[in-house]
Structure formats: C-alpha cells, structure tokens
Amino acid sequence: MITVSGLTKRYGDRTVVDDVSFALEPGTVTGFLGPNGAGKTTTMRMMTGLVPVSSGTATVGGRRYGDLPNPGAVVGTLLDASAVHPGRTGRMHLQLLASVIGVPDSRVDEVLSVVGLADAARRRVGGYSLGMRQRLGIAGALLADPPVLVFDEPANGLDPEGIRWMRDLLRGHAARGGTVLLSSHLLGEVEHTVDRLLVIGGGRIVADGSVASLLGAEGTSVRADDAAALARALEAAGFHVQHEADGALVVPGAEPPAVGAVAASAGIALSDLRPVQRGLEDLFFQLTTAS
C-alpha cells in the first residue's frame, strides 16, 4: 500500500533522512520509532508531499501522494495537532475539511462522537487542551474513513485511557484491512499496538522487524545462594555466564526454563529467575553505535 524507496532529505551538507526504504502492507500497524530528531517527522512529511524530497520516492497505492486525485480520501494524516485555527470551533474546523474531502456534514458529527468531542464541538479550538486537539486531529484523519492512516506522535497529550482508546482504534483499523503507520519516541506507547517496528536513528533505518524479534528476551537473569556452583553448572552445560556486580548471573541467549533445568539437575536452589529484556534505549545505543 505504501512504498518508500531511498527517501533522503538534505539541508545543505546535513542529511536528516538518509536513504530510508520500507513497504507497508494492508492489515498491519507499523511503529516508526526513534528518538526526537531522528528523522521520523521529516520522513512522514516527505511521504505526504509537505516537505520536498532531496531524492527517493514515496508512493501510496502506486502513486505519489501529490498525484492522488483526492488524497484526503486515501490517507488520514495526523501530523501536528496544534495546527488548527484557534478561532474556529472544532466542528467548523472539521466541516471545512469535510467539504474539501467531499464527505457530508453528518459525518463530522459521527467522527466527533467517535473521538469523544461531541460535547466540545461548538467550542473554539483555542480553549482545547492538548489531548482534545489531538482527538480533533484524529477526528479529521478519520473523516473519509481512509484505508491508510499516518499518525505522528499521536499519543502526545493523551492520558493512559486515551492511549488505550487509540490502540483499539488503530488495531481495529488494521483488522479491517487498513494500513497504519504511527510514530513515537517512546516504545511503551506503541509496543502493544504495532505488529512491526521500524527503528530510525540519525536519519537511517537501523532496525526493521517484529517487536518480539527486536526487543524479545535477550537472556536470563538468575540468582542462587550458591552462585559459584550455579555458574559452574551452567558453564558445564555450555552456557556463557556473566557475573553482575549485585551477585546475579546473566546467561545471554538462554531462556529461563533452560537455566532452571540446569539448576534443578545440579540440585541448586534458585532465589530468582527472570528473562532479561532490552530497553529501547539499549537497542538504540546498540544499533546506532554498531552502524
């Protein structure tokens, strides 16, 4: 549905997006993850024609965004929720969008209900909270019920309930065959929403895969009163053992059941056994220093 190929943005001799390529398929939610300034927003703005590309292409259903006959009917975009005239009411803002996209005014009231803004619809946007503006932006993106949703940091300003609501919205959209790309700088906001992670750092895609494959159990942390005996048993079983400063043993690449089995057969009582998960910060650090 969306194909991005070699997308690059240079400002002078500074490259902010460097040869970014990916393809998004219908029925999936893809998380576009990276620290602030990594190039997420610039990539999304190039995909939607707002920022001219230095090189590369981005297409939606085989067409450049700017060549879509009615782009608002195909791609629902939420980029900057504060980009609304503060003097208009939420309803008027959506009515203007609706008349450009070509959906009836009745649809405006529907999406206002969907995002929970029906009661605030006749108030001026200047009085909205950040979370309400975010919801208004999502309402605008949903007006045409488009097959593609592109959301930049949609969780900004949403409370935990709002983040869960958005997760259901995006999962539901993908379940109905939609294509979703959402960006975030916080893994926790998206890890339960997305099927796939595109990790960007320094303008380059540094990792592309499922959440589990990128952030899954990396090893096992284990504690025993007789740590030395446990370490000998694990090494005898062929595992590499790291001694942590706090007395715990870390067995890279091992699942907790395998470590437990070794301890049991050696007759060693364990006081703690848990998988070690990499945090997003660790992942970034590892990926960006390796590249």
Partner 1 sequence: MTADDTPSTTAAEEALPMTDTITLAPPTAPGRPGLRRTVPSLPGLTGIEIRKSLSTRSGKALAVATVLLAPVATAVVAAASTEPLTAVDGPIAIMGLLTGYLLVSLGVLSTAGEWSHRTVQTTYLLVPHRGRVLAAKAVAVALMGALLGLVSTALTSGVLALMESGVSWDGAPRAIGAAVLAGAAFAVIGAGVGAALANSAAALTGLYLVLLGVMPIVSTFEPEVANAIDPANAVINLGQGAEQAQSAVNLGVWLVVASVAGWIVTHRRAVQ
Build a one-symbol-per-residue string for 3-42: x at contacts with partner 1 by CB under 8 A, - elsewhere: -----------------------x----------------
Query: Which residue, 112 or 280, is less far from partner 1 as judged by CB?
Result: 112
131 scored as a contact of partner 1 (CB under 8 A): no
CA–CA gap between residue 285 and residue 279 (Å, rounded): 10
140 scored as a contact of partner 1 (CB under 8 A): yes
Q: Which of residues 161-220 bind partner 1 (CB under 8 A)?
A: 165, 168-169, 172-173, 176-178
Binding segment for partner 1 among 12-20, 139-147, 181-189, 260-268 (CB under 8 A)?
Answer: 139-147
Binding segment for partner 1 among 70-78, 207-215, 251-259, 268-276 (CB under 8 A)?
Answer: 70-78
State the number of CA atoms in the 13 A half-sphere of 76 facing the CB. 23
| Amino acid in position 64 | R
Total number of residues binding partner 1 (CB under 8 A)?
A: 61
Phi/psi at 243 (nearest 5 deg)?
-95, 120
Closest to 78 (Cα-Cα) out of 154, 171, 186: 154
Kindly tell me which residue out of 10, 88, 123, 232 binds partner 1, with binding defined by CB under 8 A.
88
Q: Is 54 helix (H, G, I), strand (E, B) or coil?
A: coil
Report CA 286 to chain centroid distance, whole Å: 19
66 scored as a contact of partner 1 (CB under 8 A): yes
Kindly tell me which residue out of 19, 28, 114, 273 binds partner 1, with binding defined by CB under 8 A.
114
CA–CA gap between residue 142 and residue 144 (Å, rounded): 6
**Which residue spans within the chain are E strands per DSSP?**
2-11, 14-24, 28-33, 55-60, 63-64, 75-78, 148-152, 179-184, 196-201, 204-210, 217-224, 242-243, 249-252, 270-277
CA–CA gap between residue 67 and residue 46 (Å, rounded): 14
Query: Which residue, 170 or 233, is less far from partner 1 as judged by CB?
Result: 170
Shortest Cβ distance from residue 113 to partner 1 (Å)? 5
Mind giving me the DSSP string for 62-79? Answer: TEEGGG-SSHHHHEEEES
Applying CB under 8 A, the residues found at the interface with partner 1 are 1, 26, 45, 48-52, 60-61, 65-66, 68-75, 77, 79-80, 82-88, 92, 96-97, 99-104, 106-107, 110, 113-114, 116, 118, 140, 142, 144-148, 165, 168-169, 172-173, 176-178
